A and B are shown apart, each in its own frame.
Chain A
Amino acid sequence: MTTPAPRPRASSVASLLWPAALGVLAAALLLLIALPLAALFLTTSPRALLQGLRDPMVLPAVRLSLVTTTASLALVVLTGTPLAWLLSRRRGRAWRWRFLETLVQLPVVLPPAVAGVALLLAFGRRGMLGPTLATAGVGVPFTRAAVVLAQTFVAAPFYVQAALSMFKRMDPDMLLVARTLGASRPRVFFRVVLPLSRGGLAGGAALSWARALGEFGATLMFAGNLSGRTQTLPLAIYTALESDLRTAQSLSLILLAVAFALLVTIHVGARR
């Protein structure tokens, strides 16, 4: 008696097509991401690139972006670290703390245009704090301070989230033992918590800085697009598009290089 040969099952066709289907779909997305980035490089020459950078709006924009993102990063770290620490210390079901945690995350998913309107309504001349600020002689909108505020608003969550996840991972026993060894709360924070969270905090700061550097929508609405005053790199790109595509392309390549370098740094840092 012979055993019948196993009949090929209908699903084997699907099995054969499976790798191909996966590959085609994945490749489509990769292409969509890679093609525009490649276009940034391939449609220019080193000479055209340098020429694009000679535009008079480039240098002020670079300088302004450096100054404002440094300021907003400092602001984010200085205020975000204590906030994340406080949030991480509260345990249990207290809904207030979870509400605060969600609130801090909100700018990540909030459309930048909404952030711009919200900032105007809070700090604008006719906004909530506008009259108070005006009597104090401070006008926030359409100034460098507005640029920094907009960047801080949108970028802070990236840092706070990273810090929070590091802080929550701290072994409570270890922190308690540190105190039994005579260390005050500040000393425990600076000698145990910070050194142990360093990598995560740096990664969060890098992401946060990148987000601030790319900030466009909220800045445009809240700080305007005044060359030399509030025109950061992304706004300069936007403006250049109307006159000189090469300048827009040159600036874009700079930002792309910075973003890529930052990602590589974060990945290398995370592996150590």
Chain B
Amino acid sequence: MTAPALTVELTGEIGPMKLSLAMEAKGDAGPVVIVGPNGSGKTSVLLSIVGALRPRAGRIVLGGATLFDAERGVDAPVEARRIGFLTQRYALFPHLDVLGNVLFGVPAGPRPQRSQRARAALRDLGVEDLAGRRIDGLSGGEAQRVALARALAPGPGALLLDEPLASLDVGVRREVRAFLAAHLRTLGIPTVIVTHDRADAEAFAGHVLVLEQGRVVQQGTLAALRAAPATPFTRQFAAGERQDGAE
């Protein structure tokens, strides 16, 4: 059996900017890491994949299921796409405790089973002991693990992460990054990460896609980008001149 893949081809407009991109993330091949300057359309790509933005043309296919196909008029609603989404500030529900947050996405069923599944998701991320805690008392690293547990609990077919480390203090970023990178490797589902930080791209060790002005200007491994940067941004990024904390 081949690992599930997420195939994305899309064309559209974000305000005055044209967005055009083709990519494939595979469950067994490490994440696709989208980098690019601010306003290059990175987040819009993720929003299109989850279904919050509608591209003008293109196709999005996940594990054989067509989520979006402009030509055939297919446009699955957000809630039917089975795509986990970790946003920059984690967007935990403040009115629910940690377990309640994770339970939110666990499909309907007998209460004990749902609870078990939610606790298992928390355990996988090493935060089962936080189950009864309030959201506003969590540290940045804890909040990220809880949000990741919540995203994974429904058993999504793919995972998208938007600047997963940007809202953390620089002090804990390195540790959280290492944990996240190691954990993502164990998942085996197509993963797409948006970042502006070379250290992230390095740690997640994926296929890097450089987006500028809505277009893919270069792609490959970080080493390949460093060896032959196609644009000034790529050169700076790959050389690490845009370091941790550089916004």
Contacts and interface: CB of A to CB of B under 8 A. Distances in A.
Interface of A: 171, 173-174, 176-184, 191-192, 195-196
Contacts of A196: 93-95
Contacts of B25: none
B207 interface: no
Contacts of A182: 79-80, 82, 105, 107, 154
Contacts of B91: 171, 173-174, 176-177
A180 B50 contact: yes
A191 B83 CA distance: 20
B87 interface: yes
A177 B93 CA distance: 10
A176 B87 CA distance: 10
Interface string B52-90: 100000000000000000000000011111111101110
A180 B78 contact: yes
19 contacts: A171-B91, A173-B88, A174-B92, A176-B47, A176-B52, A176-B87, A176-B91, A177-B85, A179-B78, A180-B78, A180-B84, A180-B151, A181-B104, A181-B105, A182-B82, A191-B104, A192-B93, A196-B93, A196-B94
A173 B89 contact: yes
B95 A195 contact: yes
Nearest to B156: A180
Contact of A174 (B47, B93, B156): B93
B159 to A, nearest CB: 10
Contacts of A195: 95
B150 interface: yes
Contacts of B82: 182
Given A183-B79, A183-B104, A184-B79, A178 B50 contact: no
Given A173-B89, A176-B52, A191-B104, A181 B95 contact: no
Q: Give me the 7 closest cross-chain CB pairs, A-B, nearest first.
A: A181-B105, A179-B78, A174-B91, A173-B91, A180-B85, A173-B87, A177-B91
Contact of B93 (A176, A178, A179): A178
Q: Could you tell me the dominant secondary structure of chain B's interface residues?
A: loop
Contacts of B88: 173
Given A173-B87, A173-B89, A180 B95 contact: no
Interface band, chain B: 20 to 34
A196 B81 CA distance: 26
Contacts of A178: 93, 104
**Best-buried of A173, A182, A184, A192 by chain B (most CB within 10 Å):** A182
A176 B95 contact: no
Nearest to A184: B79
Nearest to A171: B91
B140 to A, nearest CB: 16
Nearest to A176: B52
Contacts of A177: 85, 87, 91, 151
A178 to B, nearest CB: 7
A222 B151 CA distance: 55
A181 B77 CA distance: 12
B104 A176 contact: no
Contacts of B93: 174, 178, 192, 196
Contacts of A171: 89, 91
B121 to A, nearest CB: 12
Nearest to B83: A180
A171 B92 CA distance: 10
B50 A176 contact: yes
A65 B165 CA distance: 57
A178 B92 CA distance: 9
A196 B80 CA distance: 24
A178 B156 CA distance: 13
A170 to B, nearest CB: 11
Given A181-B154, A182-B79, 6 more contacts: A173-B87, A174-B91, A174-B93, A177-B91, A192-B95, A196-B95
A183 B78 CA distance: 9
Given A173-B87, A173-B89, A180 B94 contact: no
A225 B104 CA distance: 53
B243 to A, nearest CB: 26
A179 B80 CA distance: 9
A241 to B, nearest CB: 48
A141 to B, nearest CB: 45
A195 to B, nearest CB: 5
A191 B105 CA distance: 12
A173 B82 CA distance: 17
Nearest to A192: B93
A188 to B, nearest CB: 8
A148 to B, nearest CB: 33
B81 to A, nearest CB: 7
A181 B89 contact: no
